[in-house]
A and B are shown apart, each in its own frame.
Chain A
Amino acid sequence: MFELLGIPPQALFGQLLLGLINGSFYALLSLGLAVIFGLLNIINFAHGAQYMMGAFVAWMLLTYLGVNYWWSLLLVPLMVGATGIVLERLMISRLYHLDHLYGLLLTFGLALIIQGLFRNYYGVSGLPYSIPAELSGGTNLGFMFLPTYRGWVVVASLVVCFGTWFAIERTRLGAYLRAATENPSLVGAFGINVPRMITLTYGFGVALAALAGVLAAPIYSVNPNMGADLIIVVFAVVVIGGMGSILGAILTGFGLGIVEGLVKVFYPEASAVAVFVIMALVLLVKPAGLFGRTA
């Protein structure tokens, strides 16, 4: 068996795959944050909790109602997205005229409530969610073994990310969205219902987080804290990528996942802080972030 820089190839490619999987979730979540931030100017601190909700709702649907994975993939984003719409209408919409800081604090409070409730009912020990039969098993690629489900997650998140990018950057609806971020009153004057668009955008961002949660459920154990620590890494991803750009969120998400995987191979102790070290370096050189538009 050949070796690469003294590392067995199985370990290297295994960690690379793991990095790519983590990167898929970073990308999906930072994309949702970017979409919400773009139109609402609110850092959605509840994003991690909504991702966790996605995984939990999928687990509940399967356990209590016998709804399978494929239906969950469709239903869960709709259901969790709907809770997002309610939150936006009832609470977040009251803060637009205030400093951005209040949006951050409100969603932080919401995250505490959601996580606390799930912790009360399900504890912290984590619940298993089995991989759907169609996606179990794997393929031997010669240099490594690729579990089918993991491959599926990477492909699915790539498709969703670039679908979202296409919708926002290349369609008429996306053009309205982008125009409304620049000048909401002018877009409203053209007869477009901007408040409704804002509400739906928040719902869509939340649905993206929930979708990520469903994808994550068979990989990680479903537990109330699964989003809490992830969200801070995603914040770092957002700072590195620069909030102005949808593409930045996607590319940085995948890129950092891979970098993290590589660090884990060569210097495992540093893998948890690698993202933050990169953030510090990027802030030194380019405070607006790699893809950011304004300083």
Chain B
Amino acid sequence: MKRSHAGVIVLALMLALNIVFTQFMVHQFFFEHYRNTLIFAGLNILTFPVAFFIYKKEIRKGGNSHEQ
């Protein structure tokens, strides 16, 4: 079985995005730009279903390959 690390890499990117969005969110909150805070909070929340989708897809792709 050939391992694919695409999912791991994309998930790591997702996590990096999370960190970036959180940083922006907190900064914009500090500067009382509440609209921007909401945008970044939304993006932060949105990355979770995306990450979950990627995980599911990755599981489906290589799930039972060792049994073949």
Whether chain B is bound by chain A comes out as no
A interface, CB within 8 angstroms of B: none
